[in-house]
Structure 1
Amino acid sequence: MLVYRPSGPRAWRLLLMILFVAAWKAGSGQVHYSVPEEAKHGTFVGRIAQDLGLELAELVPRLFRVASKGQGDLLEVNLQNGILFVNSRIDREELCGRSAECSIHLEVIVDRPLQVFHVEVEVKDINDNPPVFSVSVQKLSIPESRLLDSRFPLEGASDADVGENAVLTYRLSPNEFFILDIINKKDKGKFPVLVLGKMLDREENPQLQLLLTATDGGKPEYTGSVTLLILVLDANDNAPMCDRSVYEVKMYENSANQTLVIWLNASDADEGINKEMIYSFSALVPSSIRWKFLMNEKTGEIRVNDAIDFEESTTYEIHVDVTDKGNPPMVGHCTVVVEILDENDNSPEVVITSLALPVQEDAQVGTVIALIRVSDHDSGANGQVACSLTPHVPFKLVSTFKNYYSLVVDSALDRESVSDYTLVVTARDGGSPSLWATASVSVEVADVNDNAPAFAQPEYTVFVRENNPPGCHIFTVSARDADARENARVSYSLVERRVGERALSSYVSVHAESGKVYALQPLDHEELELLQFQVSARDAGVPPLGSNVTLQVFVLDENDNAPALLPLPGAGGGAGAVSELVWRSVGAGHVVAKVRAVDADSGYNAWLSYELQPAAGGARSPFRVALYTGEISTTRSLDEADSPRQRLLVLVKDHGEPALTATATVLLSLVESGQAPKASSRALAGAAGAEAALVDVNVYLIVAICAVSSLLVLTLLLYTALRCSAPPTGGACAPGKPTLVCSSAVGSWSYSQQRRQRVCSGEGAPKTDLMAFSPSVPPGSSSGDSGEQRDIFRNDCTLLTIQAQGVALYLVEIVLSWVGLIGQERLVQKKRLHHAERYC
């Protein structure tokens, strides 16, 4: 049958004639025919002379002749009519074996002028071969203990035909024990497997004989058969089992001898000698495969033993028996299908023709930095080359022409992150397996000034002791610039500002290169506790970039200020001396005076303590001074033996290192009760004011107590009762001796700092900012209006004492702070103190 024949409209034939003329002038051409195999002698194949565009009359004069490539004289040409016909029997299986395509190539040669034509005649397959089994009887030894659904591979039949003529189907003769299963093996045909459908019994059926028939798919169909002789064995219960029934292995041709093809893995559930296995080729394996591969009977390794050639065979099917050493032995079966892969012989070549380096880190995306050319001497898929670049780099390859690429910038560059790249260009061909070649390109990134100097933290805290020497180094700032060379050279300077009335540069300076900060003059904590300023860092780039850092310099206190004495309001004497009148009738623990002092320092350096210096001559004084409040109180009741004028020296000392001191002189005049001065109208007015303030306080107290819950009241009362349950010590809570509670905020560390107020109880040694004064009127004394006024004031003081000993003062401060009246209560207390001090 003619595959390519000029036909169609006249224009198409004219075009074909032009093409044939061009082919004659070129001296070559090609025509395709097809003919079925086993065609009889003389079977028409095609009009070769006409199809090649030759005139019949020219065949003999131009010495028309046909030459075949190794196919002998299977085809011949009649020079009289130019017809190609079958000359002798054509057997496709003998000519091409199992190849899917089979053709006879002819060369047609004519002289004067010389022309050569190529003619390809395809030989079509016909169903002229029946399925054939390699043996007439296949023997299977199957123990009676094999479980149901056990599978036993059988040797399939082979058919010399191809295509549908070689598609085989199998059927098994009817029986009650076995059924036939077919496995398709990836275009390798069908694989028959016996499946045990019913348990075998050797005593009942020691031997079974079945018939396996194979039928091809031709028209008409052919069949072939083989006898299956099944010997039922007794004993050994478990046969070795491969982890897979079919192993598929791919390996390249030209693999060296002893190359491992596969390592089979079989297992046997038995124990002892029944578990020991021997690997061997099945009897179904032909000798040609046994020469190609070696089997290690102990390990199951299959290795290459001879040259493996893809052109000789593309697949090898190896049937393996795994036999245990039981008695009788049991056999497991598996199949290894080895697929041979064609080899790619030539690697691609990569040539880098030009470079534009280094590249600026601010280069635009798409900037070309190199040209690359690739090539491969192979052809087809093995010669098709694809280029790729090392992944995760800011560059890419852009194809500009066949096998030509440009290396361009793909994303933003940052020299500070990566200063240079080693790019690997990989050229890979389309072979299987593919081969590749690589070429390295070193790309350096040039720096631009795109990073400002950066400090490790936005601000620093520096502690410097006051009275430092001028020019001392107090701190070093350091900024890092991620750029390079001049762009990374950093200089430092102060951000000038005013500190009070003076410029910052009069206090501190910074070295431009090292970043060291110096104090230019001694710092005074009492004048300047915190010096906050900024230091600027700038690089030398163009344009320069900079950043600032904040320094907080805390000036730490030194004990450079001695305590300073304060005058007592309403008392005689100056800042260093205090004069007071004291009734001889007062009892022990009565506060008669208070020394007030402050310290310009802070912290422990301003924490003051008071000590009473021993009297001259070693006499024991009836007075004492509170360690931290400066209150002077009696240690016992005064008697006639005590000197009427007492001169006390109080040493005020701070807690600094070394401690600084000041001395206060307190002059006390001891008077009898009959010598009491008359209360002035001003004192009476003060007492009345105190009484009015007290009434206001009581009103607020009642309102506040009504506003809180009973639980809070009970809790506060319980707390007050516990505080006043201590044994009397002559302090504020001592029964029987009414005292006037007057507030004061002088003489403590917290007062010196002017930051918070501390209030201490009267338990133990006096450590409170509440001063207790007894009225300067002896008990039971009453004389006229003055005595009446003193009784009224004594009653007020008694009421205040009861409130101080109980819950009132604590409850007032807590509750009034809630209702917003704490400020007014503080004023009431201050007024009461003012009037009481004036009166007392």
Structure 2
Amino acid sequence: MTKAKLDYHIQRGLIHFLLLQITWGTVLCQLHYIIPEESKHGTFVGRIAQDLGLDIGEINSRMLRVVSRDEKGYFQVNLQNGILFVKETIDREMICSGIQFCVIPLQIIVDKPVQIYHLDVEIEDINDNKPAFPSTVNNLVISEIMPAGSRFHVQGAADPDLGTNSITNYELSASDHFALDFQKYMNQIRSLELVLKKSLDREKQAVHNLTLTAYDGGKPSLSGTSEITITVEDVNDNAPTFNQPFYQTSVVENAPKGSLAIKVHATDLDQGKNGEISYAFSKTAMEDASKAFSIDKHTGEIEVIGDIDFEISQMYEIQIDAVDNGEFQLFGHCKVLVTVVDVNDNPPEITVTSLVVPVPEDSPQGTIVAIINVHDQDSSLNGKVNCHITHASPFKIHRAFKGDFSLTVNEQLDRESRSQYEVVIAARDEGSPPLSVLKTLKIDISDVNDNAPLFLQPVDTIFIKENNPPGSLVYTAKASDPDIGQNSFITYSVIEGAVDGVPMSSYISVNPENGKVFALASFDHEQVTFFQCQIKATDAGIPPLSANLTLNIFIEDVNDNAPVFTMLFHTLSINIPKSIQPGNLVTKVRAVDVDSGYNALLSYNLKDLTGKIPFAISHHNGEICLKRPFMDSDHEEYRLMVMARDHGEPVMTATTEVVISMVESGEEILYDNQEPKGLIDEFSEANVYLVVAICIISSLFLITLIGFTVLRWQKCREEVNEMKENYKICTNTGGSWVYSQHTQYRICSNSSQPKNDLIVFTPNNSQAPNNDERSSQQGTLLNASYQPKHPNPDWRYSASLKAAMQGAVHMEGAAVLRGAAVGLEPQWPTVSSATTDPEGGEVSPPVGAGVNCNSWTFKYGPGNQKQPVPVPQIPPDFPENFIIPGSPAIISIRQDQPSAQAQKSNFITFGKKEETKKKKKKKKGKNQEKANNNTNDNNDQ
């Protein structure tokens, strides 16, 4: 491969790489449609709603719209079916001149919520332009001495179409001397030359007319023609030649003017003027290249003379001609490809494509406020842009898609704290040095009803004077709401309640607009002194919020009640003896005032005094006293006018008359009108009620006590009569009392229920049974030698027996019998038996011969600690029934833990034991004597 071909392939590769970088961004999108250019209005482009997955029924409500960067409305969306169609005819050559891939970037934006999609519509080229030459006639002068193979540059045609629709071929009309040669660069014909096939002979043919036809690759193919007129001259026969046909260089954009871009060099084999070469841009050079660069015609240096902007043109292709100075100038040609190197000379551009304001203050975190598009005309890192918010704010910016950013709510908003934010967004590229731009967004915060009305204080106190006119203004309730609009519109109302059963609405009303509180009734301090009222403030927000104010309303007293004397009669008549001493109380008057405070503070004075009277009245308590002794010149009767005066404003008074009559000492003092008179004070109405109540209660208590005593006395008499009927008493000839053999005696206390604590059975003979007989009885029998021990401290008399003893019951005919061989003898104790037990009782027998036998007295209890009742000690294992020696009686003793039999009986029984008839012993006298001895021992104890 030759060096020229290698350079050619390298150049083609670089060009392809640059074009690929330029068009790479066009494929990064969400939707890509392709339509041919020159499409008419209404041409179908694509189903946007279906391809983006949007609900067709919502695209109208969500305001789907198409936004173009250049703000040209080439397309429109049908909101009924979601179809994108052509709104305006598109000429690809007009909007994408010289660009291989013509893409129109669009943004599809929907609201509620805000979403953005990217759409690229590629405009497909159609063969709507035919090739056209700059001029219909092209004149060339060729020296006849030009050798075969000489090449002559011919200005080619231009076709704004691209690709296969652009120029793909040239044809030259048939000629023996000329042929057409062209080369393609990146599938495009860049140079067109006529090749001299054989030398010219001016003498044979001085002018050659050729037709050049250009064809494009469209279907059908279009063509354009140009006439070439070649004039053969016999002049300079060597044309300048460049040392290389193709030059390539690069220049930095914004390069200063005068900067050297490249230097070309050509040689001419001729000598003299025919070998002098001058350089110039070819007439076929592009106009923009001639504005940006210039060439020194002597040196071939190409310099920068204009603004080099990468964003306008990334590459320049310049045709250079080398012309000699011969009589007939010859030309040499070369091509220079200048690539523009991008620098970071363009700051980012910020465009707000969607701004949703105002923002409600209750917007949740993540709510989209604005869609921001950021574009940088630079490439690579110079065109990569990042966005951020410069100052702290409750908003945050997020990268959305390909140069689009979304501004969202990041914190809780509060309009009452701040109603507007100025969000400064900084866009900064990654170039070196980096460039940035600021964009300020004013975001208003809209109000929601999130604040309830607020009173200055939740509780307030007002004072209203009684007898106020109905409808008077007594208070103004004032509440504030930091919200705005209808959320801050406050209405006032009274919360329903009652004062002593009367609805609150009968006392108080409030103006719902300004909060003025009016008293609907005339208040009376003597009826109502205080009540509470609640005022409710409610805003007009949705939902409404409210707050309450508690009013403590006190009714102030005014002096609207005169004093009133508390006397039964209008005139008080008093009789006093003439012997009364000075300073003594004569009488006392009292007045009351239903007002309060100073309005009820009374003072007493005597009114209309004529002459000197011997009486004086206390200003504070109304007591009338004698201030001096009576004299003979004094009257027998004094009529005093007593005035009670309060301390209110205005002062109110009351008067009463007191008639004082003087009588002699010893006379009966009576009140006038048959009422008692004296130095007493009249009862007030309250005192009369109190005395009547005390009398009634005392009478009821006395009647109840008498009734209880009568009932109790009758019940006691019935019990005594029952005892008398049951007791049968007789005496023996010796003067001793003898009990009947089969009679039971009960000792009863004062209780209502008689208790069978003690029953005594008398014997029917004087002989005691022997030991064998005693052993046959129930329980354990006591022999003659048995001696009772000291009583166990755990044993006591039964409660019933103690009560009987404490009742000091005189046992009528209660004689102690002693059985003896010769008969019954009374045993009179001479002294009281005493024990050391402090809880014992005392038995006081009659002492002396003349004492009545009925005077036995039993005393029991701790009241008599000196002479306790002797109690025989009963062993723990002692049987329930035993026989007293010397007597055929059985004693049943109840313990603290009684047996079942004792619980049923609950008394001590002294019973008669029948004489055993079956057993007869011979030694009756001896046994009788032993029994008598045992009986005497027991009696002594």
More relative contact order, 1 or 2 (CA 8 Å, 6+ apart): 1
Q: TM-score, normalised by structure 2?
A: 0.33
Which structure has the highest helix share of the two?
Answer: 1
Over alpha carbons, which structure has the higher Rg? 2
